[in-house]
Amino acid sequence: MTSRVAAAIDAAKADGRGAFVGYLPLGYPDLQTSIDAAVALAENGADVLELGPPYSDPVMDGLVIQEATQAALAAGFRLRDTFTAVRAIADRVDVPILVMTYWNPVLQYGVDRFADDLVAAGGAGLITPDITPDSAPDWIAASERTGLDRVFLGAPTSTDERLRMIAAASTGFVYTVSTMGITGERAELDAAARTLVARLRTFGVDHACVGIGISTPAQVSAVLEYADGAIVGTALVRALRDGGVEALAAETRALTAGAGR
């Protein structure tokens, strides 16, 4: 099956630019606003949407995103709301939607049930930060059956053996971790990201998108000198928190300018 996510990255490349992947937590500050925010993200230049159902133990998330997801949980967000949101967003914009989720909620919901409901809602796949391909046979089987993309993470500390496995198992793109640590804004990106992308290329990865710590148009532009896409989260969540959907739209336009929009 054709990957909608890979096709979006290829379309950006054909336009002479890199892809911009924008992350937002679902349910923040409330479900409807998070839907409107995701639509604004797509309408203002995002090539791929990465949407995160809030989780009680967000081990990879920095403070800004943690605060947003905790607020969403406190407001009553439930995992089933993920599919309501994805369906509403997919009805309004034609941009592939990836759900970034920790694995325990999927396991509790049921792997096949989650995959089927995501497909039915119009989703394109999952980013799974806390599960590796060798621990995910049920998810790999479900994604093969449904055509959903499965985006695994590669880190600067990953061995060649693990990167080879990640490269073989991932579809859509490989989420290339720019630096060790949690999400957030950093003054300078770790040079290890460039090396990591080069290592992934040797294992046949055609679509490598870099995330963690990218927060300015200049950083987006720098990453796209060697990667296929740049992933931004914290700067977008901060804009939504401080100025609502209008501020988010403006921030998205500024950041996608760094991607050559």
- d(CA 92, CA 54) in angstroms, rounded, equals 22
Query: Which residue's structure tokens are 């060697």?
Result: 226
Reference 100, options 232, 223, 252; nearest CA is: 232
Reference 224, options 261, 170, 251, 185; nearest CA is: 261
- d(CA 161, CA 48) in angstroms, rounded, equals 29
Catalytic residue among 10, 15, 30, 50: 50
- Bridge partners, 208 (sequence order): 174
Catalytic residue among 36, 47, 61, 149: 61
- d(CA 169, CA 162) in angstroms, rounded, equals 11
Q: Is 251 a catalytic residue?
A: no
Q: Do residues 183 and 231 touch, judged by C-beta distance below 8 A?
A: no
Q: Do residues 41 and 253 touch, judged by C-beta distance below 8 A?
A: no
Verify cis geometry, omega within 30 degrees of 0, for the bond prior to 54: no
Q: Is 30 a catalytic residue?
A: no
- d(CA 108, CA 114) in angstroms, rounded, equals 9
Catalytic residues: 50, 61
